[in-house]
Structure 1
């Protein structure tokens, strides 16, 4: 059996310093390159809210999988896994050191565990039909979809809150497109192993410190022009469910543009939503047995000291291959 190539992944919640650590490590290596694992950095024009690497940072180290999609485009987890794998393999073949960095949990899971998500099952016509059913009569439409899911896949229906219309609709889509229960499709998808032997490292800050870092980051983004960028997204002719319109940093400011909130109220909502998102990210990663958490206490740990600690673990990891 051919040994799986080792892969360093630096992930974690928003504002945890993962990008700075990855940049530090990659810039210290003669051929270090960074592969983004952020589902919003894919989109052109979404720069400030997504904390996309600056032009100077991109000039310092080659970055991949940023600015590859227009805001209206759909980009699935399966799409990411295909492109990321191709990019990683190209880096390895050329002698470069690929470092994956980003906080999108499903992307990290796909690379670290090799899960082939049902996300690849998609049909625009079917999606539009189901959306129209929900929009025309939200109450009865949602109930009808849940009842149909119970018929096609009782196992999935049992684990999904009927009020979670997005999850109900997605599971129903999978059933209709695959001709099999969504629960079975997902079970089969988990049988495909990862082609990489991954080391996943996550900076782990005390909750209060992380939340303060988030609040500070939001203030900095506003100073950098977040309000204007959010307005540009708001003015795009996109459906409400478009991925970029759902990004944290934009949708929280929409009520301000519509006159339903003051700017101060919208910013308060944005900070709270970002903190909640970070909490969900941490919850996701704490349930993964492949993650190595690096406790952080002082700001000085980011990025230099933490980069040294991760580099030491990486060298030890390589020695055991």
Structure 2
């Protein structure tokens, strides 16, 4: 996709998604719009002829731009939010400044002020890891180069951020319990070949990704959509075990108690939005994996 018109057309199709990423990173609609525009400028300056996943490339570029903005804020001692009244007034003005007021209003409504306030306590790298992975199912290996850390270190950033975000109220234990219930139900549906049950547990836009080691073992690098992901798991997971990976419920295939493959789940609003199949031995050694028995 090298034609300028095609690139511009593709970018416009991705703009709502990129704006959603940037808004969750920055908490400001005006800044989010600026970040997305900068991503477009970088697209035009780059040779993307060999880029296989242009949508993913744009997401990571937008993430880099937002990370720079967050770091600049920290360096200048700026605050993301100035209180509810100030936020409401600023967002009203920002909606008018955006080309798509309806989209701006939708974004503002979709991310509560309380969440933005809590996320403001995260470091820029923590915020990036949490937003890209937990909200948009970007794999850790794609996030690692953005923040200049190892994949395992980025997992730790996301895990720490997740705990802090969920720790804002009394739902922390409930959230963990709900995730475990979803993963356990997913394992049971997978083993039983319950295709309809799998579909109910998967977000329509779920993404299943395999790391390079898992891909070399024959796994698909990426599968998108509930139907296709359900087909990958229906009738399988016979030897899988329920486990806690960095404190979150996951599915593990282990040999003699040693994890060989980890299926890491991103659960949003009671549905599975992302699954990462991890088989890299070095990464698995760095992860805190606690087997808790055979699920089902």
**Smaller-chain TM-score range?**
under 0.3
Which structure's relative contact order is higher, taking Cα pairs within 8 Å and 6+ residues apart? 1
Q: Determine which structure has the larger strand proportion and give its number.
A: 2
